[in-house]
Amino acid sequence: MYVAAGHKPWEAFVPVYNAYILTKIINRPWYWVLLLFLPVVNLIMFIVIWVDLLRSFGYNQTKHTVLVILTLGLYLFYVNYALPLNHIKERELKPRTAAGEWTNSILFAVIAATIVHTYVMQPFIIPTSSLEKTLLIGDALFVSKFHYGARLPMTPIAFPMVHDTIPVANVKSYLPRPQLPYTRLPGFQEVKRNDIVVFNWPVDSVNIYGQDDGKYHYKPIDKKSNYVKRCVGIPGDLLSMKNGEVYINGELLEMPERAKLQNAYAFTPIDRNVLSNPAILREKYDITDGLRYATIHPDKYPDSIGFNSATKASMEKLKADGVISNYQKIEIGIPDYRAFPYNASTGNNSSTRKEFLIPAKSQTVEINNQNIDYYKEIIEVYEGSEMNISNTISFKGNQVLLNEKPLTSYTFKQNYYWLMGDNRDNSLDSRYWGYVPETHIVGKPVLIWASYDTSKSFPSALRTDRMIQTVNGDGKPKSYLLYVVIAIGIYFAGRYLYKKKKGKK
């Protein structure tokens, strides 16, 4: 085909340059070459180029299009060697039929949307209450990929613009092999302490693709479930927790103004009518998680009643209104074997944690049988199997072994972060699955573009006060929805007047 189009045979064999020549043959812009090297996007581009190449030699019939797609481009070899080749140099690029025009428009819209979704900005809907009341269930976010630098897709063969499952069909949206190495484009900021971050869940999921069989199911890094939490610890920090409060390098972590921390509280009830009315609790006191009944400090709170989640401001308002008398944050005093690093001897639980290190890239630590539990998953998984390296930790007496050799120190290959939900006692976060590696960072939420209260019906379910609202920043959150509506109105009014004026000429 290269020769038939007037080019030298050798031009077909030079990598990258042959793609540039191909754009000339099909009469397309040179920058299409760049799109061929963008994972996921290139899958669509290959199909476009196959079809364009056929049409550049006059093979416009539907049967040729179907055959080249079904054979994954191999049909081009048959055309090249078995059929006559007459190159149409000044080929008309505009489709000849309305159906063709629609197909072209949809295809290029999908390509543009895939580029934006993968490398610039991704929509994300808050699925759980782990960040309530900072971010709410039903908040629809735009997540910036460029703040921290866009991570290139590691799973190149995947359905565009969906995560791990194709909607409706409920099947995997990707092929787990091959996998590309981790690569991140330059960003303009690092993950900062108190940033809200979207990331891929560090541990593998067991209930995915509609399966609920309790079995282990492997998922590539970029296809693990997307989570959103607040970064409370950055590389190099020494983090500890006392009575549910986070301390960084020995000092209490100062939360941003917009953060609305929730905790579990015990209290002494006074007005049980209010406490048993979910509507009043929700509308007047902004409490949505309801009551909890358990043995909570029986010496101080014999009624054993409390809230699963509430802000301190809500508890103060209840007390001021005479609904409760005294209240106290519920603290867990016993070690929890489910808490990272899954060793009850550490004394760690969801509200108490001894000081430990959040590793930084190139940082070296001493390794012994007292601290290896904190670093075992990093060595074996995040800097082992996820980097295609076989690392196995074992023990010989008190000696820690890496691949059967003594391990006394270790230098980390990447940065790690500690992420937690603002709904402190109702959040599955780093307290349970540990560090979040740099390779798992997806992006930074920047805008709430829509919000829907799933407990209400339309139209009252629309939270218009949260629409077009920035996620970050100082001061009280403000919706810019009205300004956007006015701007859109001015645009369409101006467009209408312009066309009307032009029509009179």
Residues with catalytic annotation?
A: 130, 229
Which pTM value belongs to this model? Answer: 0.86
Tell me whether residue 62 is in a domain.
Answer: yes
Tell me whether residue 376 is in a domain.
Answer: no
**DSSP symbols for 316-332:** HHHHHTTSEEEEEE---
**What local confidence, expressed as pLDDT, does residue 209 receive?**
39
Do 225 and 269 fall within a single domain?
A: no
State how many domains the chain has: 3
Tell me whether residue 85 is in a domain.
Answer: yes
Do 69 and 32 fall within a single domain?
A: yes
Tell me whether residue 273 is in a domain.
Answer: yes
Which residues, at least 6 apart from 483, have a Cβ–Cβ distance to it below 8 Å? 468
Q: Which of 329, 347, 378 is the last residue of a domain?
A: 329
Do 97 and 190 fall within a single domain?
A: no
Q: Is the dihedral of CA 82, 83, 87, 92 positive or negative?
A: negative
Do 57 and 79 fall within a single domain?
A: yes
pLDDT in tens, 106-150: 888 888 899 999 999 999 999 888 998 899 999 999 999 999 999
- Tokens representing 396 are 């010989």
pLDDT in tens, 390-447: 999 999 999 999 999 999 999 999 999 999 999 988 888 999 999 999 999 999 999 9
Do 128 and 211 fall within a single domain?
A: yes
- Angle CA 157–160–163, to nearest 5: 90
CATH number for the domain that contains residue 221: 2.10.109.10
- Angle CA 458–461–465, to nearest 5: 130
Q: Which of 97, 119, 141 is the last residue of a domain?
A: 119
Do 223 and 295 fall within a single domain?
A: no
Phi, psi of 346 (to 5 degrees): -75, -20
Tell me whether residue 91 is in a domain.
Answer: yes
Do 134 and 160 fall within a single domain?
A: yes
Q: Which of 95, 119, 143 is the last residue of a domain?
A: 119
Phi, psi of 132 (to 5 degrees): -60, 140
pLDDT along the chain (505 residues), means of 10: 88 90 90 89 90 88 88 90 87 68 79 91 90 92 95 92 86 90 94 95 57 61 92 96 92 92 88 89 87 64 78 94 88 76 82 93 95 94 92 93 95 97 90 94 95 86 91 84 90 86 72
Do 100 and 142 fall within a single domain?
A: no
Do 129 and 168 fall within a single domain?
A: yes
Tell me whether residue 358 is in a domain.
Answer: no
Tell me whether residue 386 is in a domain.
Answer: no
Tell me whether residue 211 is in a domain.
Answer: yes
**What local confidence, expressed as pLDDT, does residue 211 receive?**
47
**What local confidence, expressed as pLDDT, does residue 165 receive?**
87
**What local confidence, expressed as pLDDT, does residue 431 receive?**
92
Do 105 and 134 fall within a single domain?
A: no
Which residue range forms the structural domain that includes residue 73? 9-119
**What local confidence, expressed as pLDDT, does residue 210 receive?**
43
**What local confidence, expressed as pLDDT, does residue 301 receive?**
63
